[in-house]
Chains A and B, each alone.
Chain A
């Protein structure tokens, strides 16, 4: 038997052993990965479940020690009160809900409409001051939002927008646009300009090339931007509290104050309201999450 023949089984055995070691190593990492994911899941889901559980309890049961992990006498009373147009609090809550939808939707639509051409311009055009302008877009986000509270309030008053939803929409746009533009620009950077050139060669105008080629390809990025804008506007509290002085116009985050007093909180009512408030955002994210993830990852890597 030649030396080569003698070493072959040994080499195979060594290869197998190496593969086993790799598998074992991978197995350990897989297990650690799973543990990490499970912990993350618990961290994320348990508060939601606790919120749901509390919303199904009576006010008294919500305060018991040790806590009832599952309500002993579950009740949908708080949801009925909030969602029934005939209950004492229902019409008010539904109005807050509608106001939040209106403000968030308008912010989202306007934000996307502005962010798309701005991001496209930053991605495709070269013009003097482009870099400086691009980074200056982010300037607003380098300061805490509360710093702008008084200046914006005075500005809104000057524009006669205090106590209108317009003040919130305008303000939320100034918060959301910088990141939206950055997000979309990264996405447009990933779409080869050659595709547009090909369309131009086929006779399309610049706008047609943008509309028919770039827009469909950038749909995930636009959806991600829209979700981001919507969530930002949906959850905002401080500006809504400051700018709106009319019960008819309040949004949900401010409306949640109805469950606090100086001395007490109505926890089940608050949790029911918070749960209802989280449903649109969670549903939106679940439906569109693949676009959201794709947009974030594609925009992150330049090809």
Chain B
């Protein structure tokens, strides 16, 4: 388990400095305000804002004691001897210390619980893992188990590359997971994975730059139209970039930051933002989508108020100028906040003074809303077992079951999401670990506040291609002015049509 000391350090940094930024998020949710559009969106994820908001989550936290070893022993005996290969996007040298520590503690705990199960672990880079998995599966050298970002699994399932699973074989029930999360591991009525974590992002801004630009540092932009306006003002008044636009092709960061805008304006790739999506209607060129793309055109081309490298930037290229005080606003993953705090803690001398100033200026709140709704990607990860025919070496399903049951139970589902996410197993919200987490990392209130606004990506095998290639290319076509906004949307529609009919 992560040491109390480390958590205390993180907690002190966070509670002291970011409370103001939480106002919009925590205040809204704590007051029990559940906007109608959030209620409508909860149909897709099952995250009822009345039931799931910072207040109710605080109340339920700490009401459940869990003995993981006892629970998993019912799935696979603790003395089971076996072997399993496992690929995932894990923490590394660029991650915060606390993430690395929790990861190491997980493997130590698994070893202690299942001393005779050998796990061959491959920790991969986020932007490389998808292609590597595709190649490995085609070459019949896939791992037995892989944890993938939520968008990827269905592609492998549709190709017959994943093993069908049932929640029963891990001693889980459907009630332990959000319906939206379960939907992301379901293809043609069959289940191919277990949700490990579900996350929603927030909006982060630099209060010092806001003040420098003459904006109220405590009031983040409420709408996407405000973002465009604030970004322009910030650029004009300070010369610094306003909003952290990213439009890189084939990078997961791009759809996670653009789709919320598209949905907020009533657009979408397909009809994924509608109450009962069927994924057979294309929305990419509707009025809402065009209006959303127009906001990005306005910021990039008309106002030049976003980083000039936006077309090739990923979120990494946003975080660095944000830390350097050269970027005012961005959609941000909670783990970024932890990583920034971590880097500030490691700074020394004069650097420490600057680091403290930047951290002091950071504020966190809800993602702005649009004319139709407030939206965020209902993200996260799922864990899957590959088809035995595609696995290199021995296929030991029981060892895989032991690993998945251990990882997706309430304890590790919560701990592995410590600074970054929400537990996939919603029993985790009731554990003492969740209580400890909420008490020490207050900014997670923003994440839980955003949960009801979550919209899952379309659960179709073409999703990675649409989200990682077609949507970013649409943005690039408009932002480079090689096409008008309307033409770019129309071209994207044709590409999606071709993709959907071609498979």
Contact = CB atoms under 8 A, between A and B. Distances in A.
Interface of A: 58-61, 63-65, 72-73, 75, 88-89, 149-150, 153-154, 156-157, 162-163, 241-242, 245-247, 257-267, 269-270
A262 B252 CA distance: 8
Q: Which of A63, A242, A247, A258 has the most CB of B within 10 A?
A: A63
Interface in B321-368: 321, 323-326, 332-333, 335-336, 339, 343-344, 346-352, 354-355
Nearest to B149: A262
Contact of B320 (A149, A241, A246, A265): A265
Contacts of B323: 60, 63
Given A65-B324, A150-B138, A153-B135, A263 B319 contact: yes
Contacts of A59: 343, 346-347
A69 to B, nearest CB: 15
B349 A72 contact: yes
B392 interface: yes
B93 A242 contact: no
Contacts of B335: 263
B320 A58 contact: no
B132 A72 contact: no
B126 A261 contact: yes
A264 B348 contact: no
Nearest 8 pairs of A and B residues by beta carbon: A60-B347, A262-B126, A266-B94, A257-B125, A65-B324, A258-B92, A73-B349, A59-B343
A111 B121 CA distance: 33
B141 A245 contact: yes
B350 A72 contact: yes
Given A154-B138, A262-B252, A264-B316, 5 more contacts: A59-B347, A153-B141, A257-B92, A258-B93, A259-B92
B143 interface: yes
Contact of B125 (A149, A153, A247, A260): A260
B96 to A, nearest CB: 9
B93 A162 contact: no
A263 B139 contact: no
Interface of B: 85, 87, 89, 91-95, 100, 120-128, 132, 135-136, 138-141, 143, 252-253, 314-316, 319-321, 323-326, 332-333, 335-336, 339, 343-344, 346-352, 354-355, 392
Nearest to A73: B349
A77 B347 CA distance: 12
28 contacts: A60-B347, A60-B352, A60-B354, A61-B351, A64-B324, A64-B351, A72-B351, A73-B349, A75-B348, A149-B135, A157-B140, A242-B135, A245-B85, A245-B120, A245-B122, A246-B120, A257-B128, A259-B92, A259-B93, A259-B94, A260-B127, A261-B126, A263-B316, A263-B335, A264-B94, A264-B336, A264-B339, A266-B94
A196 B94 CA distance: 59
B348 A242 contact: no
Contacts of A156: 139
A163 B392 contact: yes
Contacts, number: 132
Contacts of B315: 262-263
A247 B123 contact: yes
A245 B320 CA distance: 31
A241 B124 CA distance: 9
A269 to B, nearest CB: 5
Most chain-B CB neighbours within 10 Å: which of A60, A259, A270?
A60
A58 B138 contact: no
A247 B122 contact: yes
A262 B324 contact: no
A162 B139 contact: yes
Contacts of A64: 324, 351, 354
A49 B339 CA distance: 27
Contacts of A258: 92-94
A149 B134 CA distance: 12
A64 B352 CA distance: 12
A261 B91 contact: yes
A89 B325 contact: no
A128 to B, nearest CB: 38
A31 B315 CA distance: 46
B41 to A, nearest CB: 24
Given A64-B324, A246-B120, A257-B128, A262 B138 contact: no
A270 B125 CA distance: 14
B139 A154 contact: yes
Given A59-B343, A60-B346, A262-B89, A73 B351 contact: yes
